[in-house]
Amino acid sequence: DAKTTQPTSMDCAEGRAANLPCNHSTISGNEYVYWYRQIHSQGPQYIIHGLKNNETNEMASLIITEDRKSSTLILPHATLRDTAVYYCIVRVAGGGSQGNLIFGKGTKLSVKP
Amino acid sequence: NAGVTQTPKFRILKIGQSMTLQCAQDMNHNYMYWYRQDPGMGLKLIYYSVGAGITDKGEVPNGYNVSRSTTEDFPLRLELAAPSQTSVYFCASSYLLRGNEQYFGPGTRLTVT
């Protein structure tokens, strides 16, 4: 069963903020929200993760609702190089089999000039 | 740091042949993973390792073997290659105490004919 729901595709104008939503209504208290992206034919790239507080790093910001049932990944100034499939993944932070990343279909983000 | 490296980038095998996919990381990560990604699909975990000398099966281990004699290296062995093993193979590594975000290699594209 899919733990997350994301739109199939989104467009964004270059230079604008890209806001990618994710629903995870069945998230457990010890599960984190992770975001990865995969640019065509390349290995997935880690972007950001969070538990309940909003997080920001050099790549993006992650906004998690207070009830933790949904989140939004924000790319503040999208460039053409941000065109990729973005995956929202919910899992515990443990390693080994707990670290198994279950990639759904993700959101294909197209950044247009 | 080179991060996670994989060799070869591409390989064509005949049915019944064997080969080893190489993976190395220079980040001193304790966890390492092998995934496969079929066209248009998400990643599936083949094997993982929590440290040198310790490996365990993932979701789709049949037809593969792994070993982990050092922290840095995690080779994946295909015995008796079959067309169903045509896929892109990604190796990843992570460090548990840092949130366990996984860092991926560039992948090996394998075709079995």
Considering only residues A91 and B3, tell me which one the structure prediction assigns the higher pLDDT.
B3
**Residue range A70-93: mean pLDDT, rounded:** 93
The pLDDT, as a whole number, for residue B23 is 98
Tell me which chain B residues have a C-beta less than 8 angstroms from the C-beta of A49: 99, 101
The pLDDT, as a whole number, for residue B73 is 97
**CA angle, residues B83, B9, A43, in degrees to nearest 5:** 95
Cα–Cα dist A102/B52, whole Å: 24
Residues of A contacting chain B (CB within 8 angstroms): 32, 34, 41-46, 49, 87, 93-97, 99-106
Cis check for the bond before B8: say yes or no (omega within 30 of 0).
Answer: yes
Tell me which chain B residues have a C-beta less than 8 angstroms from the C-beta of A44: 43, 90, 92, 102, 104
HSE, CB side, 13 Å, CA atoms: give it for residue A8.
Answer: 1
> Are the CB atoms for A71 and A82 separated by under 8 Å?
no
Inter-chain residue contact B92 with A43, CB threshold 8 Å = yes
pLDDT above 70 for A99: no
**β-pair type (B64-66, B108-112):** unpaired
Beta bridge partners of B20: B77
Cα A107 → chain centroid: 9
The pLDDT, as a whole number, for residue A96 is 58
Task: Give me the residue from A43, A97, A102 closest to B105, CB to CB.
Answer: A43
Considering only residues B25 and B1, tell me which one the structure prediction assigns the higher pLDDT.
B25
Cα–Cα dist B34/A92, whole Å: 19
